[in-house]
Amino acid sequence: MKINHLARINILKLNPYQSARKLGGKGNIWLNANEAPTSFTYINKNYNNLNRYPDCQPKTIIRNYASYAGVQPDQILVSRGADEGIELLMRAFCEPNKDAIIFCPPTYGMYNICAETLGIKRHIIPSIANTNWQLDLPAINLKLKNVKLIYICNPNNPTGNIINQYDIKKLLHLINNRALLIIDEAYIDFCLHASLVSWLSKFSNLVILRTLSKAFALAGLRCGFTIANAEIIKLLLKVITPYPLPSLVIDIAEQALTKKGLSQTNKRINTINKNRNYLAQELTKCPCIKQVFPSVSNYILIKVYPQYEVFKKLWNMGIILRDQSKQLGLSNCIRITIGTYQECKYVANILQQLNTT
């Protein structure tokens, strides 16, 4: 029996998200998924209650993350990664085939894919390259009709820049009661002073996404957070599955959010930030690199001269980077995740010696 004709047309047309894991590669140096380079060991409890369903919103996690973020527990939703938060917002707020979202490439790919999967319209408003990818507010303003959600990634993945707070404030005033502004703060732990969490009390239509996947070094855990005013959280709780987090995930997330866990994460953040500044410096000395974009995150975007075939040559040496050339405005751009100091040094060394043959 043929199955394809049964599928929804938008799914048949869908170009699925190309995750770093799916794209694969072979080698020893993995700098393609913005993961932390090292892992801590977590203690597994002796589980004797896996016959029972877990809590939907485990209290300890909610309480401890609220305290870390500086908000009230009723302003937090925990989910299967920030990716689930991205989707829950669309499912709770957008009527399929009627409402629209806005996002501003080059940026994280899941806003687009998620909307496409759910049959939600997309207004794509590129950010302005020669302003280090700031928002094009006049263009956004022209496209606000039927828009319910605006996704802004801050700091932006893959470019690494912070979005002007002044622009974000202007945008919040512009959309006022018509739409929600979602700030994806997946990388904010590397530059916490730039978080907009403190604005939640002033703007009831602001939503912030967070995750344990990046700075907390727990990409394998699949645990993320949505922070917003309690009214929004209540709506999302209607849409989320009854048991989004496995008991084992809850256990480890709780350990990561203890005082000890948080202090380990803080140390890791300091190390990554130091390694990033070191790598950024070294990359400016590479003949194959045309431009090193400033970053406040755990990755650096570079623009290379095509004749050096940087991505392919490093791939063949077992150094797996993330090719960004297919993203809008990013031809010949590669994103490098910050690894250990040794990894940074090794990669910098290779890039400095690369030639065109």
Ligand X SMILES: *Cc1c(COP(=O)(O)O)cnc(C)c1O
- Look up residue 148 and give its amino acid: K
- Tell which positions 224-243 bind ligand X, by CB under 6 A: 224
How many residues in the shown chain lie near ligand X by CB under 6 A?
A: 13
Is residue 109 involved in binding ligand X (CB under 6 A)?
Answer: no
DSSP string, 246-293: -HHHHHHHHHHTSHHHHHHHHHHHHHHHHHHHHHHHHHTT-TTEEEE-
What is the contact mask toward ligand X in residues 150 to 189, using x (rule: CB under 6 A)? ---x---x--------------------------x-x---
For residue 244, state whether it binds ligand X (rule: CB under 6 A): no
For residue 180, the cross-strand partners are 149
Nearer to ligand X, 157 or 324 (CB): 157
Cβ neighbours, 10 Å, residue 323: 19
CA–CA distance from 226 to each of 6, 74, 80, 217, 236 (Å)?
34, 11, 11, 18, 9
Q: How far is CA 330 from CA 129, 155, 162, 302, 348, in A?
A: 9, 17, 17, 9, 21
Measured from the CB atom, the residue of 192 and 317 that comes closer to ligand X is 192
β-pair type (299-304, 289-292): antiparallel
Quick note: the x/- pattern for ligand X over 19-58, rule CB under 6 A, is ---------------x------------------------
Return the number of the residue (106 or 224) whose C-beta is nearest ligand X. 224
Q: Which is nearer to ligand X, 108 or 311 (CB)?
A: 108
- Give the nearest distance from C-beta 177 to ligand X in angstroms: 26
* Interaction between residue 81 and ligand X (CB under 6 A): yes
Residues with Cβ within 8 Å of 308's Cβ and at least 6 positions away in sequence, in order, are 287, 288, 354, 355, 356
The minimum distance between CB 246 and ligand X, in angstroms, equals 15
Size (the chain), residues: 357
- Give the nearer residue to ligand X in terms of CB position, either 19 or 353: 19
Q: DSSP secondary-structure letter at 80? A: S
Output 295 or 354, the one with its CB closest to ligand X: 295
Residue 87: CB minimum distance to ligand X, A? 10
Shortest Cβ 292–ligand X spacing (Å): 20
Least distance to ligand X, CB of residue 61, Å:
14
Segment lying near ligand X (by CB under 6 A), choices 8-16, 65-73, 76-84, 288-296: 76-84
Find the shortest distance in angstroms from Cβ 273 to ligand X.
17
Contact 266, 158 (CB under 8 A): no
- Contact 120/99 with Cβ under 8 angstroms? yes
Binding site for ligand X (CB under 6 A): 34, 81-83, 108, 153, 157, 184, 186, 211, 213, 219, 224
